[in-house]
């Protein structure tokens, strides 16, 4: 299998994993970098039954080069984050129920569980709830993301990054898990967040070991084998 074919196969596994868990449900998209000037991007309105042809080949100007179907309307999310962050190999945008709730409340999402410490350096909030459907908005979102692993879009969703699709899907899964636990805690009273120093120490250990990302990807692979 060629490197590009392997990337596509893994992107399909990631897509199905997130779709089955309700992260996408018709809204959301996933991209994977192919070198410096191209990337793969899920087409508009893609469902669970997806194939390699449903990933569009796109250049860094947002022009579709190959693939069936239309670009998703918010393709500038991927263009501008990948353009501004050469360390990012994959971007996932989805409308997380629990994480997005923290953009419409007085609470700020922080690490409340061990896996949340992966995002110990903070989760910025992009303030504009409108669709990121232009280069200008994409650039503003990328600026809001900065050097962080994730950014929340107010009253809209989240964008999660990773050096690879394996890391990005693990990041999305663990980001939403931390948010879910935080929502539960907030419902019981005042959330007790992990303090900054402990979160930095714990997150540093997890990022060094890569254990959480490997564990989530093992789940992706196992589910893919079970589902066929």
Q: Are 126 and 97 in contact (CB under 8 A)?
A: no
Beta bridge partners of 29: 93
Q: Are 40 and 91 in contact (CB under 8 A)?
A: no
Q: 37 vs 18, 34, 45, CA distance in Å?
A: 26, 7, 25
Closest-CA residue to 171 (of 73, 86, 54, 92): 92
Return the active site residues: 74
Closest-CA residue to 130 (of 140, 120, 143): 140
Dihedral sign from CA coordinates of 81, 85, 89, 95? negative
Burial class (CB in 10 A: 0-12, 13-18, 19+), 223: middle
């Amino acid at each position: 299998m060629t490197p590009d074919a392997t990337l596509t196969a893994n992107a399909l596994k990631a897509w199905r994993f997130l779709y089955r868990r309700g992260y996408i449900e018709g809204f959301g998209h996933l991209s994977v970098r192919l070198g410096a000037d191209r990337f793969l991007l899920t087409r508009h309105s893609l469902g669970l039954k997806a194939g390699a042809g449903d990933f569009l080949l796109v250049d860094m100007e947002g022009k579709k080069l190959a693939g069936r179907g239309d670009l998703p309307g918010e393709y500038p999310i991927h263009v501008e984050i990948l353009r501004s962050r050469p360390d990012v190999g994959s971007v996932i945008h989805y409308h997380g129920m629990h994480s997005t709730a923290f953009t419409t409340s007085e609470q700020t999402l922080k690490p409340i569980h061990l896996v949340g410490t992966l995002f110990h350096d903070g989760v910025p909030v992009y303030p504009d709830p409108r669709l990121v459907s232009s280069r200008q908005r994409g650039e503003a979102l990328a600026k809001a993301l900065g050097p962080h692993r994730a950014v929340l879009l107010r009253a809209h969703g989240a964008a999660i990054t990773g050096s690879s699709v394996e890391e990005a899907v693990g990041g999305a899964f663990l980001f939403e898990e931390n948010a879910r636990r935080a929502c539960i805690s907030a419902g019981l009273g005042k959330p007790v967040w992990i303090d900054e120093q402990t979160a930095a120490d714990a997150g540093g250990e997890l990022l060094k070991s890569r254990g959480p990302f490997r564990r989530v990807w093992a789940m992706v692979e196992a589910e893919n084998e079970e589902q066929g």
